[in-house]
Amino acid sequence: MTSPSSKPLLATLKGERQSVPPIWLMRQAGRYLPEYRALREEKGGFLALAMDSDAAAEITLQPIRRFGMDGAILFSDILIVPMALGQDLWFETGEGPRLAPTVQARNVLDALQPNAEALEPVYGTVRRVAALLPPQTTFLGFAGSPWTVATYMIAGQGSREQAEARRLAYRDPELMQALVTRIADCTIEYLLGQIEAGVEAVQLFDSWSGSLSPAQFEQWVIAPTARIVAALHQRAPGVPVIGFPKGAGGKLPAYARETGVDAIGVDETVDPVWAHASLTANLPVQGNLDPLALIAGGPTLESAVDRILLAFSERPHIFNLGHGILPDTPIAHVEQLLARVRSGK
């Protein structure tokens, strides 16, 4: 086993197996933290925070100060890309994001006026965080994968089973391809901008990939992701890319092989024993504690943690949740999780 790096998470992403896996949590900068809630009350809604570089940098750093996570994940949102592509974005209180106009016809897509300036506040956040992070902490940037971003651009909001996007993909595959290509092109430049500003690795979130048939998964998840990964590897060599296709299930091995990602995130529905047996040897794996097990705490949490640690003990492993941390997660349970993972048991 290799000796731990001064940046354990980055070393793991590059294929080193650590005796104690590094840990960070998806949505670790968010509503479960009282310091986040206080800042949001002071500054305003979510989008106002995300587009305020000083506030977003502070939020990114909050879980690092409190818990000493091995990774800091940029505080932003996957829907910044639709803004940069020309859609209007706002958040309805208690209901989530809204986008307009909805892209359900080619003339709507063609009429969108790209605005690359929408990405500048994010790069400002990255520069601020990069200057303040502890030297052992890996800085992670991110973007939504094209399929997931497309589902919001087509429906104008989160949608049940992503039916609008799936219908459009069947009804007008040329329009869907044009939209996905436009998202992928913007995402490549966006992630390269984050890298130039100071992130050390990036994650692609495909939160809604589980709603697709196998053939659609190949077309709308694997193909555009592979294109993004290839471009990043060519233009930012050495910067690891984590793919997180939530809900992929049995399609995970194909995703890992065909996209060329450097590490793969596994959601909580996947058996970690199966994942270890099915994925390419030595491919770094990230995950996959159920966020509800974290809320449960106590022996339930510890047994779930131990099972994951054992399953991935023979490969590079980053401990994480199977999806984002929930707002009602007790701080004490996060502390319990960190203690258990770092105990070396």
238 — alpha (psi -120 to 50), left (phi > 0) or beta? Answer: left
The answer to whether the beta carbons of residues 106 and 135 sit under 8 Å apart is no
Closest to 10 in 3D by CA, of 201, 199, 198: 201
The answer to whether the beta carbons of residues 251 and 278 sit under 8 Å apart is no
Q: Is 27 a catalytic residue?
A: yes
Task: State how far the Cα of 42 lies from the Cα of 208, in Å rounded to an integer.
Answer: 32
Q: Is 31 a catalytic residue?
A: yes
Q: Is 77 a catalytic residue?
A: yes
Task: State how far the Cα of 302 lies from the Cα of 219, in Å rounded to an integer.
Answer: 39
Q: Is 267 a catalytic residue?
A: no
Which residue in the list 32, 152, 190, 255 is annotated as catalytic? 152
Which residue in the list 40, 66, 127, 257 is annotated as catalytic? 40
Task: State how far the Cα of 7 lies from the Cα of 24, in Å rounded to an integer.
Answer: 13
Q: Is 160 a catalytic residue?
A: no
What would the DSSP string read from start to end of 16-68? PPPSS--B--TT-SSTTSHHHHHHHHHH-SHHHHHT-HHHHHHHHHHHHHHH-
Q: Could you tell me the two tokens for 234? A: 């060519």
Which residue in the list 31, 66, 307, 342 is annotated as catalytic? 31
Sign of the CA dihedral running 202, 207, 210, 213: negative
Which residue in the list 27, 98, 227, 315 is annotated as catalytic? 27
Placement of tokens 């949608």 in the chain: 159
Sign of the CA dihedral running 302, 307, 310, 311: negative
Which residue in the list 70, 77, 206, 267 is annotated as catalytic? 77
**What are the φ and ψ backbone dihedral angles of 284, each rounded to 5 degrees?**
-60, 135
Task: State how far the Cα of 110 lies from the Cα of 116, in Å rounded to an integer.
Answer: 16
Q: Could you tell me the two tokens for 10? A: 């980055």
Q: Could you tell me the two tokens for 175? A: 């329009």
- The residues carrying an active-site annotation are 27, 31, 40, 77, 152
